[in-house]
């Protein structure tokens, strides 16, 4: 299988950032950041794309970080079994703490926290819902991410992935920084900026989907000036 993506050079080249978020200051400020606006918008898009009456028994959150999205998923599906994966122990601990404060009526609900690289993640059984926000741009080899997704699904799984997209120029990146992170602490600003430069362009994601043959299963759409979503096509 062809493993490389023919990235175009007409646009700003990608500048990778470290995969794991492990620096205590970076982690703490990310965990304390107010993602309400961006994350509630993404969750609404997710809800709009879900099949009617979808109640997943098992949910995977890849690259869960400190669990802001995870807790939103939990409120929507309080009785599902959850598996949270993150390669950063610090992040995973914060996620564990946050999820510990939430309760479900269901007894025997399974909550698993796995400190693992997505590259190494091999689930015992596939999940009904595979979710991931803001992880792909961290990966130096994006196909490692898609491999983990493919190992985690069955034919009826619903997939929802969202991430940032790389702007066309440094000017555009500056503009996005000013527009969306102007009042944030410097660490967060730097994080956001580095993430924008490390993000994949939507054309690049499209090409990845074609290479791994997920393009027949998934739709890909830009939804803001800096985010794309990718989700299972409706089944007829």
Ligand X SMILES: C[S@@+](CC[C@H](N)C(=O)[O-])C[C@H]1O[C@@H](n2cnc3c(N)ncnc32)[C@H](O)[C@@H]1O
Residues that bind ligand X (CB under 6 A): 19-21, 63-65, 68-69, 86-88, 91, 117-119, 133-135, 138-139
**Nearest distance, CB of residue 53 and ligand X, angstroms:** 26
> Which of the 8 DSSP states describes residue 225?
S
Closest residue to ligand X using C-beta atoms:
65
Name the nearest CA neighbour of 81 among 69, 70, 67, 65: 70
Question: Can you tell me the distance from the alpha carbon of 152 to that of 133, in angstroms, rounded to the nearest whole number?
Answer: 16
**Nearest distance, CB of residue 7 and ligand X, angstroms:** 20
**Nearest distance, CB of residue 118 and ligand X, angstroms:** 4
116 or 203: CB nearest ligand X: 116
Name the nearest CA neighbour of 61 among 73, 43, 77: 73
**Nearest distance, CB of residue 134 and ligand X, angstroms:** 4
Tell me how far CA of residue 179 lies from CA of 146, 166, 173, 225, 226, in angstroms.
31, 15, 10, 11, 11
23 or 215: CB nearest ligand X: 23
58 or 132: CB nearest ligand X: 132
93 or 215: CB nearest ligand X: 93
Q: What is the residue whose two structure tokens read 């999820």?
A: 99
């Amino acid at each position: 299988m062809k493993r490389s993506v023919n990235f175009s050079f007409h646009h700003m080249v990608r500048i990778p950032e470290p995969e794991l978020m492990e620096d205590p200051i970076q982690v703490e400020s990310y965990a304390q950041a107010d993602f309400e606006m961006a994350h509630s918008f993404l969750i609404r898009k997710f809800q709009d794309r879900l099949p009617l009456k979808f109640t997943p028994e098992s949910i995977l959150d890849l690259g869960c970080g400190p669990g802001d999205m995870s807790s939103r998923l939990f409120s929507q599906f309080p009785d599902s079994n959850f598996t949270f994966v993150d390669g950063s122990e610090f992040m995973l601990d914060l996620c564990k703490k946050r999820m510990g404060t939430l309760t479900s009526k269901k007894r025997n609900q399974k909550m698993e926290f796995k400190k693992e690289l997505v590259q190494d993640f091999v689930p015992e059984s596939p999940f009904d819902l595979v979710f991931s926000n803001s992880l792909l741009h961290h990966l130096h080899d994006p196909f490692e991410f898609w491999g983990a997704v493919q190992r985690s699904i069955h034919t009826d799984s619903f997939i929802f992935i969202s991430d940032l997209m790389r702007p066309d120029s440094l000017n555009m990146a500056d503009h996005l920084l000013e527009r969306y992170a102007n009042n944030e602490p410097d660490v967060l600003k730097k994080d956001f900026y580095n993430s924008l430069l490390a993000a994949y362009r939507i054309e690049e994601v499209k090409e990845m989907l074609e290479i791994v043959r997920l393009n027949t299963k998934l739709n890909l759409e830009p939804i803001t000036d800096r985010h794309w979503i990718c989700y299972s096509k409706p089944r007829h």
